């Protein structure tokens, strides 16, 4: 419960963080809210040589209405996303998901960018953002690039981020007035999702994203296809676990996760008016 020795660098702006990453490369790990990294370090499952603390880089903490696109700084805390008037107006699914992360202490420390970059497949924020069709602005020495939420995570706790790149902004196309649904199954209120399902309608289309049904957050492709061809909620939801490979752990078996994905998808679709 005591981390292995590490060096600590405080970076109070994007530029300072970029400089630190440039110097230490893959020896370094970024510390934002610390709600995922610090427990891993205390258990010595993560042993970075250098911790670059960006939690005071307030130039990366904001929510802006960017003309039909919601721009959210990576270091914006969950609690600020949950109660932001802009997020509530343009992406109520995200506001709801941010309000259901962990417990109040976690929501007041943890950041949405940290959650996305940590790429835990059971996390609320990347699941909601996947259903919302968000994209992630990544900046590094080679310039700035925008990666779609669908392409961002490449495996369990793995992403397309290079060691010297930072996730700086989350961009969410406005879904003002559109129906949505979010169903999260947990043993206890504070737990990560055993399974969660985010549904976002947009125009005539419905996106369905699944948490903890594989090594990354996933789209329920077969359900989305069934909906596109006119299936009702119950029929479409019966396909929710198709193509997924959920894990078995102390919380649930893979079989039960598949069952939950189907039940929760149906409920989320019904909540979204399907």
Partner 1 sequence: MSILGTRVMRVEDPKFLTTGGVYVDDLRDPRLDGAGHVTYVRSVMAHARVTVDGSAAAALDGVLAVVTRADLADLAPPPVPLGFIPPALGRPWLADGVVRYVGEPIAAIVTESRYAGEDVAELVSVDYEPLTAVVDPRVSATDETLLFPDHGSNTALAFEAGSLDGLFDGCDVVVTQQITNQRVAPVPLEVRGTACVWEGDGDDARLTLWASTQSPHGARDQIATALSLDPDRVHFIAPDVGGGFGAKFGVSVEDLLLAVLSRRLGRPMRWTETRTENMLGMGHGRAQLQTVTIGGSRDGRITAYSLDVLQDSGAYPHFGAVLPFMTQLMATGTYDIERIAVRTKSVVTNTAPVVAYRGAGRPEATAAIERAVDMFAAEIGLDPVEVRRRNLFAKEAFPLTTQVGAAYDSGDYAGALDKVVAAAKYDELRAEQQRRRDSGDTKLLGIGVSSYVEITAGPEAGTEFARINVKPDGSVVVYTGTSPHGQGHATSFAMLAADELGVPIERITVVHGDTDLVARGGGTGGSRSLQLGGAAVHQGALETVDRARELAGDLFEAAAGDVVLDKARGGFHVAGSPDDVRGWAEVAASADAEHGLIVDTDFTAQGATFPFGAHVAVVEVDAETGKVTLLSMTTVDDAGPVINPVVVEGQRHGGIAQGVAQALFEEVRYDEDGNPQSTNLADYAFPSAAELPDFTLVDMATPSPLNPLGVKGIGEAGTIGATPAVQNAVVDAVAHLGVRHVEMPTTAERVWRAIQDAREGAK
Site string for partner 1, 158-197 (x = CB under 8 A): ---------------------------x-xxxxxx-----
Q: Where are the alpha helices (DSSP H) in 112-199?
A: 112-118, 124-132, 149-152
| Strands in the chain per DSSP E | 7-10, 28-31, 50-53, 63-65, 69-73, 135-140, 143-148, 153-155, 158-159, 166-173, 180-185, 195-202, 205-211, 218-219
Q: How many CA atoms lie within 13 A of 104 on its CB side?
A: 0
Asked if residue 129 lies in contact with residue 116, where contact means CB atoms within 8 angstroms, the answer is: yes
Instruction: Tell me, residue by residue from 41 to 70, as one string, x for binding to partner 1 by CB under 8 A and - for no binding.
Output: --xx--------------------------
Report how many residues bind partner 1 under the rule CB under 8 A.
21
Footprint of partner 1 on residues 76-115 (CB under 8 A)? Answer: none
According to CB under 8 A, which one of 2, 45, 67, 177 is a site residue for partner 1? 2
Q: Within a 13 Å sphere around the CA of 272, how many CA atoms are in the beta-carbon half? A: 34
Smallest separation, CB 254 to partner 1 (Å) = 11
Of residues 228 and 234, the one with the C-beta less far from partner 1 = 234
Query: One symbol per residue from 245 to 264: x for binding partner 1 (CB under 8 A), - otherwise; what is it?
Result: -----x-xx--x--xx--x-
1 binds partner 1 (CB under 8 A): yes
Which CB atom, from 60 or from 198, has the smaller least distance to partner 1? 198
- Least Cα distance to 159 among 94, 111, 215 occurs for 215
Work out whether 238 is an interface residue with partner 1 (CB under 8 A).
no
234 binds partner 1 (CB under 8 A): no
CA gap 206, 225 in Å, rounded: 9
Question: By CB under 8 A, is residue 5 in contact with partner 1?
Answer: yes
Question: 66 vs 191, which CB is nearer to partner 1?
Answer: 191
Q: Which two tokens stand for residue 39?
A: 């427990």
Which residues make up the interface to partner 1 (CB under 8 A)? 1-2, 4-5, 39, 43-44, 185, 187-192, 250, 252-253, 256, 259-260, 263
């Amino acid at each position: 419960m005591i981390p292995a020795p590490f060096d600590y660098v405080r970076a109070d702006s994007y530029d300072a963080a970029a400089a630190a990453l440039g110097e230490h490369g893959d020896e370094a790990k970024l510390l934002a809210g610390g709600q995922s990294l610090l427990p891993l370090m205390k258990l010595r499952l993560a042993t970075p040589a250098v911790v670059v603390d960006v939690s005071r880089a307030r130039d990366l903490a904001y929510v802006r209405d960017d003309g039909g696109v919601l721009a959210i700084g990576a270091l914006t805390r969950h609690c600020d996303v949950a109660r932001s008037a802009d997020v509530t107006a343009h992406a109520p699914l995200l506001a709801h998901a941010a309000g259901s992360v962990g417990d109040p202490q976690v929501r007041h420390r943890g950041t949405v960018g940290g959650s996305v970059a940590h790429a835990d497949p059971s996390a609320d924020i990347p699941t909601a953002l996947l259903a919302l069709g968000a994209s992630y602005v990544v900046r590094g020495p080679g310039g700035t690039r925008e990666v779609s939420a669908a392409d961002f995570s490449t495996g369990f706790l793995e992403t397309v981020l290079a060691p010297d790149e930072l996730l700086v902004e989350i961009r969410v196309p406005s879904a003002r007035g559109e129906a949505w649904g979010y169903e999260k199954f947990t043993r206890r209120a504070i737990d990560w999702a055993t399974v969660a399902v985010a549904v976002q309608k947009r125009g005539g289309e419905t996106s369905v994203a699944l948490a903890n049904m594989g090594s990354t957050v996933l789209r329920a492709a077969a359900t989305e296809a069934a909906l596109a061809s006119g299936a009702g909620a119950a029929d479409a939801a019966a396909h929710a676990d198709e193509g997924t490979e959920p894990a078995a752990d102390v919380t649930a078996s893979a079989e039960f996760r598949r069952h939950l994905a189907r039940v929760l998808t149906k409920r989320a679709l019904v909540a979204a008016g399907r």
